[in-house]
Amino acid sequence: MRIPILRIGRILLASIQVEMSDSDALRFQNDVVQKIAEIEALGIAIDITSLEVVDSYMARVINDTATMARLLGAEVVVCGIQPYVAMTLVEMGRDLIGANCVFDLEQALLRLQERIAARGDADLDKGS
DSSP 99: S
Q: What is the overall mean pLDDT for the chain?
A: 91
Domains in the chain: ranges and CATH: 5-119 (3.30.750.24)
Q: What's the pTM value of the predicted model, to 2 decimals?
A: 0.90
- pLDDT tens figures, 7-51: 999 999 999 999 999 999 999 999 999 999 999 999 999 999 999
Q: Is the pLDDT score of 69 beyond 60?
A: yes
Residue 75 contacts residue 110 (beta carbons within 8 Å)? no
**Pick the residue with more confidence: 111 or 121?**
111
